[in-house]
Structure 1
C-alpha cells in the first residue's frame, strides 16, 4: 500500500512538472507571438514615438537652417565671425585668399559638405579682411580651416597635409578629417581614411595627435601665398 502511494505521489509530481513546463512554454510562445505581432495599442505607441522623433528631428533641422546651416557662406568681416561661432555648436571656417588657387579646391568640397552635414555651420572669410582674427588664430598657411566647437577653436586643417598632400583629395577624405575632430557627425571608420593609404606611392600622411590639436603646422604646407 505504501508502494502504491509512492507511485501516486511520483506520478502526481511528474504531472505537476509537465504542467509547469507546458505553462512556461505556452507563456514563451505567447510572448514571442506578442513581439512578432504587437497588438494595436503597442503599434499605436510605436507610431507615436516615431512621430515624436521625426518632429524633434524636423525642429532641430529648422533651428539649424535658421542659424545659417545647410549652405557654405562667406562672412564679410571678422566681427561677424564671433557672432557666427557663438550661435552654433560646430563651425568650420575656411580662411582664404583670392589669389591662392587651392582655396577654390576647398570651396568645392565645403560646399558639398555644408549640404550634407546640417549639424555643422560652414563659413569662409577673406584673410585680407580679417587681419586681427588671422593673427589671433595664428593663421600662417593659406588655405587653412579653423574648427570651432562651443565657441572655442579646437583644431586646424592647415593646407592639404592631412588630406593626402595632394590637390586631388576627395570630399570623403575631408569629411573623414573633420570627423576625426568631432566637428561633424561622421558615420564611417575614424581609424582609417576612406582612401587606400596602403597603396604604393600613396602620399597620405597619417594625422597625428599633435596635428589634430592644431598646435603645430607642417613646414612643407603651402605658404600663405601662391
Structure 2
C-alpha cells in the first residue's frame, strides 16, 4: 500500500513539473510583440476595472448606509448585483457590533453594496425574507437572497470576532471578492469567548440563543 501511495505522489509531482516546464517554455518563447500584447491587455483590464469601480461608487458602493424603507430597498436591489444588508433594531447591542465591522468592509469591498434596514420600519420585507433573529445579515445577488448570517453563531459565537472573520463569512456567499482561503476561517487572535453583551434577540424582543425562532 505504501508503495502505491509513493507511486501516486511521484506521478502527481511529475505532472506538476511538466506543467511548470510548459509554462516556463511559453514565457521563454515570448517575443517583444507578445509581451506588448500582454501589457496592452493588462492595461485594458485595469481601465475596465477602474470604470467599473466608478460605476459602483455612483450607486452608493463604498459606504455603509441605511435604507429608509422597503421601496428604496427594491430600487437598490435593481441597480446593485451584490448586496450585504443588515437587518437590525435600535436597541440591540449586537447590531451595533455588526455596524462597526460592516462600515470597515464597505470601504474595502466596493464590489458590493453594504446597507442596513430597521426591521420595525420594514415589516413586509422582514416577513418576506423570513428574518426571525437580529442581527441578521442577508447576502443578496441578482435580486435573490443567497445566504444569511444569523446572529454571531457563524462568527465564533462570540461578540469580539474580527472584521476578517466576518469578511470571510460574507465571502462564502460570493457577495464579495476574497483573496484568502475560503475553506478555512482566518486565525482569530483574540481568545474566543462569550462576552457579557446580550445575545441576539428575536424581532419580538425575547432573548435568544441565536437559533431560528418563529415569530408566530
TM range (shorter): 0.7 to 0.9
Contact 2:82 2:140 in 1 (8 A): yes
Unmatched 5+ stretches in structure 1: 1-31, 205-218
Find the aligned partners of 1:180 and 1:152 in 2 and give their Cα distance.
16
**Number of aligned residues:** 177
Taking only aligned residues, the RMSD between alpha carbons, in angstroms, comes to: 2.9
User: Could you list the per-position Cα deviations for residues 60-91 of structure 1 after superposition, in whole angstroms to 9, with x for gaps in the alignment?
Assistant: 11111111111111111011111111211110
C-alpha contact 1:142 1:222 (8 A) present in aligned 2: no
Change (3 A) 1:137 1:47: same
SS at match of 1:186: coil
Report what 1:69 is aligned to. Answer: 61
1:129 to 121, 124, 145: 121
TM-score when normalising by structure 1:
0.70
**Partners of 1:72 and 1:114 within 8 A in 2:** yes
Decide which structure has the larger Cα Rg and report it: 1
Deviation string, structure 1 residues 85-130 (Cα, Å, up to 9, x no partner): 1211110110111111111111110011111111111010111110
Gaps of 5+ in 2: 1-24, 195-207
Within 1, Cα distance between the matches of 2:67 and 2:188? Answer: 36
Matches within 5 A, 1:212-223: 220-221=209-210
Partner of 1:169: 161
Return the offset for 1:44: 3.5
**Displacement, 1:50?**
2.2
TM-superposed deviation, 1:46: 3.3
**Residues 172-191 of structure 1 aligned to structure 2 (within 5 Å):** 172-191=164-183
